């Protein structure tokens, strides 16, 4: 991770200490007991609940909501955590409007779903923040599994394997575990060090050894891991960032940064007043990362923040809820606007049009948006995957529950084909690969 370079206009300390604290507080404060009971009472406890199908980890949502309604939130937490060991983080970060809440019958009927994410957080916080780990390990099997990547996919896989009695060693390139939970998720979605607390709690099961600052391809190799361990799981996310791909040398000016780097620096900062930010910030991209970078630039005190996205608003990767959040935070959304140059302290955008066949028409029309800081958020890509592992469409090719082309090697999460680059999907794929690895080890 690099730190924000100091250039004119990009300065730290734009706000008072109180303003930083207020801006970066919990975006969705937790429900109290009364609020949780009221929210739970709205559930119809559908027999054939569509929310379960819409959740990638298939949590028994009506059951856990009934457990909250009957005053047993710890039982509700166990229902959630059995299916999704990162239920606490997912309750905070899942785009629920596209998942469980989007499928809720009350959403269909009234446009107002049961608050499943908030209820999930309510239940799991009681267990996770207690620090006491509720799951027990199975009898030791003597089998050892190597997991590459301590993100949601890798740790979900590691936890399920440890629960079955296998010994797991997790190798991660970064100094801290948690993957994007620790380095990527917007700070106002997971305040007070929740990501680190959740990982500590998860490790309470025992049998999982973390080896941070161990990068596959440097400190360890796939051949070495295959020789030493009975199985290998790759959960290394998307560690590369896409290049902008335009002929604009000035865009490499010092104040241009990858948005993921900007966010990682912010997430790791102990003192937000030391983080430099521009007065006029342009974020290029249309996904969750673009929105998170833009909103956090605003919260750091940038006056004018614009998201420039080359396609129409309906094509943005960020959910409608996130787009609304950006607009509410004072971010300007410019769609069908692609960067063509940076000159005279401004990003020059060319207007585009989405054609019916899905292609993009670049028009000759231009608009200049003042910018002393440019953040690029145009997607991450696979990096550091060993040559022996087959890749298809930019991701590790997998069959079934994460089997790669290399025998004894599984993959899941953002690095594997078939997911949708969400925390909850990574958790589901790590869990499912662990079940398959367990079957393989049992048979072997």
Ligand X SMILES: Cc1cc2nc3c(=O)[nH]c(=O)nc-3n(C[C@H](O)[C@H](O)[C@H](O)COP(=O)(O)OP(=O)(O)OC[C@H]3O[C@@H](n4cnc5c(N)ncnc54)[C@H](O)[C@@H]3O)c2cc1C
Using CB under 6 A as the criterion, which residues of the chain lie in contact with ligand SF4 when the complex forms?
A: 55, 57, 59, 61, 84, 90-91, 94, 96, 99-100, 116-117, 120, 424
Using the minimum distance from each CB to ligand X, give the nearer residue, 178 or 350: 178
Distance between CA 23 and CA 370 in Å, rounded? 24
Place of tokens 């299916």: 83
Using the minimum distance from each CB to ligand X, give the nearer residue, 69 or 222: 222
Least CB distance to ligand SF4 at residue 56 (A): 6
Q: Is 29 buried (19+), middle (13-18) or exposed (0-12) by CB count in 10 A?
A: exposed
Q: Are strands 167-172 and 208-212 parallel, antiparallel or unpaired?
A: parallel
Using the minimum distance from each CB to ligand X, give the nearer residue, 40 or 421: 421
Residue 127 touches which member of ligand X, ligand SF4, none, C-beta under 5-8 Å by kind: none
Instruction: Establish if 203 lies at the interface with ligand X (CB under 6 A).
Output: no
Instruction: Establish if 422 lies at the interface with ligand X (CB under 6 A).
Output: yes
Residue 312 touches which member of ligand SF4, ligand X, none, C-beta under 5-8 Å by kind: none
- Applying the rule CB under 6 A, the residues between 91 and 130 that interact with ligand X are 93-94
Instruction: Establish if 288 lies at the interface with ligand X (CB under 6 A).
Output: yes
Using the minimum distance from each CB to ligand X, give the nearer residue, 73 or 177: 177
Distance between CA 401 and CA 19 in Å, rounded? 47
Using the minimum distance from each CB to ligand SF4, give the nearer residue, 90 or 302: 90
Residue 239 touches which member of ligand X, ligand SF4, none, C-beta under 5-8 Å by kind: ligand X
Instruction: Establish if 297 lies at the interface with ligand X (CB under 6 A).
Output: no
Instruction: Establish if 260 lies at the interface with ligand X (CB under 6 A).
Output: yes
Q: Is 266 buried (19+), middle (13-18) or exposed (0-12) by CB count in 10 A?
A: buried
Instruction: Establish if 414 lies at the interface with ligand X (CB under 6 A).
Output: yes
The radius of gyration of the chain's CA atoms, rounded to the nearest angstrom, is 22
Residue ranges that bind ligand X, judged by CB under 6 A: 93-94, 148-154, 171-174, 179-180, 184-185, 189, 215-217, 235-237, 239, 260, 263, 288-289, 292, 384, 413-415, 421-424, 426
């Amino acid at each position: 991770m690099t730190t924000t370079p100091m250039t004119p206009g990009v300065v730290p300390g734009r706000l008072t200490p109180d303003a930083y604290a207020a801006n970066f507080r919990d975006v969705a404060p937790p429900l109290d007991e009364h609020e949780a009971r009221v929210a739970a009472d709205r559930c119809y406890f559908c027999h054939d609940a569509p929310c379960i199908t819409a959740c990638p980890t298939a949590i028994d949502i009506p059951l856990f909501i009934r457990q909250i309604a009957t005053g047993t939130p710890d039982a509700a937490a166990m229902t959630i955590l059995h299916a999704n060991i990162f239920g606490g983080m997912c309750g905070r970060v899942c785009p629920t409007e596209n998942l469980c809440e989007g499928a809720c019958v009350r959403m269909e009927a009234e446009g107002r779903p049961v608050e499943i994410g908030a209820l999930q957080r309510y239940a799991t916080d009681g267990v996770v923040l207690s620090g006491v780990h509720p799951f027990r390990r199975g009898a030791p099997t003597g089998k050892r599994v190597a997991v590459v990547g301590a993100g949601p996919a890798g740790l979900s896989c590691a936890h399920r394997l440890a629960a079955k009695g296998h010994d797991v060693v997790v190798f991660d390139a970064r100094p801290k575990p948690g993957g994007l939970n620790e380095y990527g998720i917007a700070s106002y979605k997971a305040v007070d060090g929740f990501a680190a607390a959740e990982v500590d709690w998860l490790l309470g099961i025992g049998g999982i050894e973390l080896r941070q600052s161990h990068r596959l391809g440097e400190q360890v190799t796939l051949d070495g891991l295959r020789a030493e361990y009975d199985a290998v799981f790759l959960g290394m996310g998307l560690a590369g960032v896409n290049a902008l791909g335009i002929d604009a040398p000035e865009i490499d000016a010092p104040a241009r940064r990858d948005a993921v780097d900007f966010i990682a620096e912010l997430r790791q900062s102990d003192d937000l007043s030391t983080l430099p930010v521009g007065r006029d910030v342009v974020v290029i991209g249309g996904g969750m990362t673009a929105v998170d970078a833009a909103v956090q630039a605003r919260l750091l005190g940038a006056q004018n923040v614009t998201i420039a996205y080359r396609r129409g608003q309906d094509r943005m990767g960020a959910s409608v809820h996130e787009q609304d959040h950006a607009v509410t935070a004072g971010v300007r959304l410019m769609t069908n606007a692609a960067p063509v140059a940076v000159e005279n302290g401004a990003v020059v955008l060319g207007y585009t049009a989405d054609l019916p066949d899905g292609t993009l028409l670049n028009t000759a029309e231009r608009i200049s948006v003042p910018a002393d800081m440019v953040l690029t958020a145009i997607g991450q890509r696979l990096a550091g995957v060993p040559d022996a592992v087959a890749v298809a469409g930019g991701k590790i090719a997998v069959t079934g529950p994460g089997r790669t082309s290399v025998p004894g090697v599984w993959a899941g999460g953002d690095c594997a084909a078939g997911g949708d680059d969400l925390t909850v999907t990574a958790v589901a794929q790590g869990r499912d690969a662990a079940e398959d690895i367990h079957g393989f080890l049992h048979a072997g």
